[in-house]
Structure 1
Amino acid sequence: MSNLFPHVIRVAATAGLILAAGVPAVYAATSATVVTDLNVRAGPGPQYPVLGVAARGSAAALEGCLEGSNWCRVNVGTVSGWAYAKYLAADAGGSTVVISERRAELGVPVVSYEATGSTVTVGPEPLELVGSVDEIQPIAPPPTVRTFITENPVDPVFLEGEVVLGATVPRSVAVRTIPDYEYEYVVVNNQPVLVEPSTRRIVYIYR
């Protein structure tokens, strides 16, 4: 994608405070790159509202990550929020590495978060990326699919991780069949997604 800035900006209903945990008041944020279209949320978890969507290839300033978590505070364009570290990459000695795998080497600061609103309990089963996001070919669902999803709502499922193309929905999560259509649907982290039945991979996200 040529667009290097977030799109689909929304107003967040939940606010929070980021608190440095032993981090100097002034420090150079780690430069990172968004590896797939990625939600930037109001807080460190899938239960928080989406502030915007950072397009694949966007440059992000990484302020720090929570201790023992893959959620990190980022600035992408004009949006400040939280993104999932498994979909953020950085340069380490000339090699591109995933933030979640090399935090210590990159010297990513530890930050903490204090919620100021109610949260939703998140299940323990992770939503993981399977293979390269490039393996997912773009699809264009017909309007009738969106109509069916709207008229046949299902309860959302909250999973640790982030909703991205190529991520796999765990087998324990029930999905809904769409009449006369090859894909099924489920609402993950408050976002309707289309799932390939055989692989359970997300092939389309309604934003």
Structure 2
Amino acid sequence: MSFTKPLAAAAVLMAMAVPASALTANATTDLNLRAGPGNMYPIQGVIASSAEVDVQGCIAGSEWCKVTYNGTEGWAYSAYLTSTYESNPVVVYDNMQRLNLQEIDPVNIDRNPAKTFTPSGALILGQPTSVPIVIDDNVAVQYVRANPVEPIYLEGEVVVGAGIPENVTIYPVPDTTYQYVNVNDQLVLVEPGQRRIVQVLR
């Protein structure tokens, strides 16, 4: 009597019973970890650039994924998360199906944002790894903190390298080469020529 087929079937059933582990991904820049899927939700912490997170799933048709970072569960903007597919690094947002990520039904999300607002545009996706700008300019930072401006609300996440749309007014920082603006209640320093965020004042 042969036990090959029953043993093979049992092995398949055992493999199916083992829950799939969460996908791991890395942040391409310092990235906010939020309490919910949107920039109106409070910030719970910051995922350090290059740090690893476990991605539990993403909302279909959205840029937001549920992740765990250093034991804290929250939501991250997947345009700034990369994972590995067929030995190549890929952006999570563009490859959710290929990465076989679980779809999270937004209806089941506990929605308790810090505030609600209607975005008046969208941040331009940046290339954080190509913006290695380190600012050590206390004059600029102190001026911006002492002279806050009214916020403009934009879709997307506020990160170094993201672009400010042309229709958004940015303000000069006297005696420096920088400008600044308040995006989604976060003050940021901007490089005027490319209108790119070079520092987020946390």
Q: Which TM bucket (shorter chain)?
A: 0.7 to 0.9
| Residue 80 of structure 2: aligned partner | 87
- Separation of aligned partners in 1, 2:21 and 2:50: 21
Which of 126, 136, 149 does residue 130 from structure 1 map onto?
126
| Residue 49 of structure 1: aligned partner | 42
List per-residue Cα deviations over 1:7-37 (Å, max 9, x = no partner): xxxxxxxxxxxxxxxxxxx542111111111
| Residue 205 of structure 1: aligned partner | 200
| Residue 40 of structure 1: aligned partner | 33
- Separation of aligned partners in 1, 2:66 and 2:132: 27
> What amino acid does structure 2 have at the position aligned with 1:128?
I
**Alignment CA distance shift 1:101-1:117 (3 Å):** closer
- Separation of aligned partners in 2, 1:117 and 1:104: 28
More helix by share: 2
- Separation of aligned partners in 2, 1:42 and 1:97: 25
Flag as ranges the 4+ runs of structure 1 deviating above 4 A. Answer: none
- Separation of aligned partners in 1, 2:196 and 2:112: 34
| Residue 159 of structure 1: aligned partner | 154
Q: Which runs of 5+ in 1 are unaligned?
A: 1-25
Shift of 1:177: 1.1
Which moved further from structure 2: 96-105 or 147-156?
A: 147-156
Count of matched residue pairs: 182
Give the TM-score normalised by structure 2: 0.83
> What amino acid does structure 1 have at the position aligned with 2:179?
E
Q: Which protein has greater RCO, CA pairs closer than 8 Å, 6+ apart?
A: 1
More strand by share: 1
Which of 66, 78, 93 does residue 71 from structure 2 map onto?
78
List per-residue Cα deviations over 1:125-175 (Å, max 9, x = no partner): 221233353333211122x32332233221112211111111101111111
Which of 58, 70, 78 does residue 65 from structure 1 map onto?
58
- Aligned with 2:140: secondary structure? helix
Q: Does 2:28 match 1:28?
A: no
- Aligned with 2:151: secondary structure? coil
| Residue 99 of structure 2: aligned partner | 106
Shift of 1:118: 5.4
| Aligned-pair identity (%) | 37
| Residue 177 of structure 1: aligned partner | 172
Q: Which runs of 5+ in 2 are unaligned?
A: 1-18
Which of 190, 193, 197 does residue 195 from structure 1 map onto?
190
- Separation of aligned partners in 2, 1:117 and 1:35: 25
Which moved further from structure 2: 112-121 or 167-176?
A: 112-121
- Aligned with 1:150: secondary structure? helix
Give the TM-score normalised by structure 1: 0.82
Shift of 1:110: 1.1
**RMSD (Å), alpha carbons:** 1.8
The structure that has the greater radius of gyration is 2
| Residue 4 of structure 2: aligned partner | none
